Amino acid sequence: MSDIIRLLPDSVANQIAAGEVIQRPASAVKELLENAIDAKSSSIQLVIKDAGRTLIQVIDNGIGMSPTDARLSFERHATSKIKNADDLFHITTKGFRGEALASIAAIAQVELKTKRDDDELGTCIEIEGSEVKSQEHCSCAKGTSFSVKNLFYNVPARRNFLKSNTIEIKHIIDEFQRVALIHPEVAFSMHNNGNEVFNLNKGSFRQRIVGIFGEKYNQRLVPVSESTDIVCLDGFVSKPEFAKKTRGEQFFFVNKRFIKNAYLNHAVQSAFDQLLSSDNYPSYFINLEIDPSKIDINIHPTKTEIKFEDERAIYAIIRTAVKQALGKNNIAPTLDFEQETSFNIPLFKPTDSVKIPTIKVNPNYDPFLDKNKKSSSHTLNRNNVKDWEKLYTDFEINSGEIKTAQQNLPAETSIEPEQASQTIISDWEDTENNEKRNYFQLYKKYIFAPLKSGFLIIDQQRAHERVLFEQFYKNLSENKSSSQQLLFPETIEFSSVNAAILSEIKYETAALGFIFENIDENTFNFIAVPAEISGLPIKLTIENLIEQFQSNADELKLEKKEKLAQSLAKSASIKSGQKLSPEEMNSITEKLLTCEMPYHLPNGKPIIISLNLEDINTQFKY
Ligand code: ADP
Ligand code: MG
């Protein structure tokens, strides 16, 4: 019997290998674009025909190749990017395996034209099913052009596996975006069947995002950046109100390579915890620069997973950086005139008759009329809301105040202190004299607060809810709620269901400042309540608290402490429909602007809209 083992011819070996590297046209697009980046190009063009079935062409203006390199580039394991195994720990290029071109050439008809800057003539190579058909000098521009024609022409099984053109082109666009997004210093264009899909000039990261996803994104982005020994982070997250129902635009890059990582994704998502409900996904575009020796570079060409040495630390850094950005930056929603909700103003025809606008004014209106309120009273009447702000200011000096210390409550993550947008704050402080601010209440629901250069529109109920929420949450976290002893303890009977729930959360409600004892199963004797809610009917507040607490349980995946703080805030806040005096509006606004997250409720709903003079001028076409 003769020996039966043979070495496979290169063409067959390459074809088998190609199966792994090139699964669909989009994989070839990715490889060619990455090669163009590695070749230090400043301009890259992608031309596609028939979703990449008949043509994928990538033209770059990079360093080009010598005639020998051009020929060698199609060999398997031929690469200029690493020399030895040690280099594997310092990868700074996209490619390094030397497989892509060999694979592509095994399953397509490829034409390569390439020229280095100093060379007079370039090289043109035609290769088909790994077989070189021709190699000659040619005149061409500096850089490299790869034309990949009839992909999978010799692998019918693969070809038949391809999905519809719509799906294949979608994959190609995905790959194009992943490369183009993180290389804004490179100009890119993409054409499909002769139509321009993208034409991206060089610019900043922000400009590139806007170039790809549209002008609207400009005002949706909040910059995030952080620099530590382990990682440097840079990029943008979307403002909470632009979160999506699907995980569309979430981009992580590590050393400018697109990656997917569920754990790090969670870090970003959790930074939005108090701003978004869990079925909403923020967009993000974040690049992490990490020492290549601290990541596992043995990346499969088609895979996007990556392993980090310090994954937990990186998680914490990302989460903190995003949280900080959301609190610190100007994430107050602005009126988005480009959104679908923008007013549809009919064109004015000269034949139309003009109606003089009428303004209804109350000539007797004096915003300071009810200013002469009683100055310091602890027995606040909730129906007379004009004194409600005293609820915050007076309890500290109240002799009836008692502090409760809840030693055994588990310490949990707290909200890092952040301030409202510096621009809004300074605008706010610049505005003449606080007392002289002309507040204006619309529909007993919105507060209009003037700024130096524009104004804020504030949802009064949400604003008060946010203020109370932060106060309660802080009290809970620091275990120092301020209870206010009742002058006359109040005995209250609850339904048996509510009584059972109240007993269950007795510990936490005590941490909030409710002090009570059971008289019998359904009856409780209240001796103190949180200072912030003194004056409110206790029974109703507790019942609302329980109701909110239960409905919040389904709605949001929050920790118990947050849920409680939120429920009580909701229950105790002033409501829409309540008329507010200028002093009350001032008090709400001031307190809101010192909140850690003044712009959104924990469920992502906006609290403030800011409208600046520029926006208004733009609307009037100045
Ligand atoms: P890898 O990128 O892993 O090195 P490839 O098969 O993709 O392997 O490419 C092989 C080699 O061909 C590269 O290392 C590089 O030297 C050269 N090359 C490929 N594309 C280009 C290009 N667009 N411009 C210049 N050189 C290129
Ligand atoms: Mg490559």
String of DSSP letters for 227-259: E-SS-EEEEEEE-GGG-BSS--SEEEEETTEEE
The ligand 1 site (C-beta within 6 Å) comprises 31, 35-36, 39, 60, 62-65, 73, 78-81, 95-102, 144
Ligand nearest 36 Cα, by number? 1
Q: Is pLDDT of 291 > 80?
A: yes
Q: Where are the domains of the chain?
A: 10-200, 205-328, 414-622
Q: How many helices (H) and strands (E) does the chain have?
A: 18, 23
In this structure, the residue with its CA closest to atom 5 of ligand 1 is 98
d(CA 579, CA 597): 25
Q: Are 606 and 280 in contact (CB under 8 A)?
A: no
Q: Contact 30/94 with Cβ under 8 angstroms?
A: no
pLDDT of residue 394 exceeding 50, the answer is no
Confidence of residue 10 (pLDDT cuts 50, 70, 90): confident
pLDDT at 92: 80
**Burial readout 350-380 (b: 16 or more C-beta within 10 A, e: otherwise):** eeeeeeeeeeeeeeeeeeeeeeeeeeeebeb
- Given a contact cutoff of 8 angstroms between Cβ atoms, the answer to whether 154 and 170 are in contact is no
Higher pLDDT, 425 or 134: 134
Element (H, E) at 226: strand 221-227
Task: Name the residue of 14, 31, 35, 77 whose CB sits within 8 Å of the most ligand 1 atoms, as the mutation to test its pocket.
Answer: 35
Give the percent of the chain with pLDDT over 90: 35
Residue of 27, 34, 38 to mutate, ligand 1, most atoms within 8 A of C-beta = 38
Looking at the domain 414-622, which fold is it? formyl-coa transferase, domain 3 (3.30.1540)
How does residue 423 score in pLDDT terms, banded at 50, 70 and 90? Answer: low
User: Which residue has the least CA distance to atom 8 on ligand 1?
Assistant: 98
pLDDT tens digit string along 38-77? 999 999 999 999 999 999 999 999 999 999 999 999 998 8
Residue 18 has a pLDDT of 78
Which residue, 402, 541, 407, is CA-closest to 482? 402
Q: Whose CA is nearest to atom 19 of ligand 1?
A: 35
**In angstroms, what is the span from residue 35 Cα to ligand 1's centroid?**
5
Between residues 42 and 378, which one has the greater pLDDT? 42
- Residue 135 pLDDT: 96
What is the whole-number distance in angstroms between the Cα of residue 599 and the centre of ligand 1? Answer: 49
Q: What is the pLDDT of residues 591-611, one digit of tens each?
A: 888 888 888 887 778 898 888
pLDDT of amino acid 384: 34
Higher pLDDT, 78 or 74: 74
Q: Which ligand is nearest to the CA of 114?
A: 1
Q: Say how far apart CA 169 and CA 175 lie, in whole Å.
A: 10
- Encoding tokens for residue 100? 């892509």
Q: What is the pLDDT of residues 201-257, one digit of tens each?
A: 999 999 999 999 988 888 889 999 999 999 999 999 998 888 887 777 899 999 999
Q: Which CATH superfamily is domain 10-200 in?
A: Histidine kinase-like ATPase, C-terminal domain (3.30.565.10)
**Higher-confidence residue: 111 or 302?**
111
- Tell me which ligand sits closest to the C-alpha of residue 62: 1
Residue of higher predicted confidence among 151 and 352: 151
Residue 388: the pLDDT is 34
Beta-sheet strand order (sheet of 221-227)? 221-227, 232-238, 284-289, 250-254, 257-259
DSSP string, 289-308: E--GGGEE----TT----EE
80 alpha carbon to ligand 1 midpoint, in Å? 7
Residue 522 — pLDDT band, cuts 50, 70, 90? Answer: confident
Query: Pocket of ligand 1, candidates 41, 42, 76, 79: which has the most ligand atoms within 8 Å of its Cβ, to mutate?
Result: 79
pLDDT of residue 366: 41
Say which CATH class 205-328 falls into.
alpha beta
Residue 81 CA: which ligand is closest? 1
Q: Cα of 388 to ligand 1 centre, how many Å?
A: 71
- pLDDT band for 512, please (50, 70, 90 cuts): confident
Residue 213 · residue 221 · CB < 8 Å: no
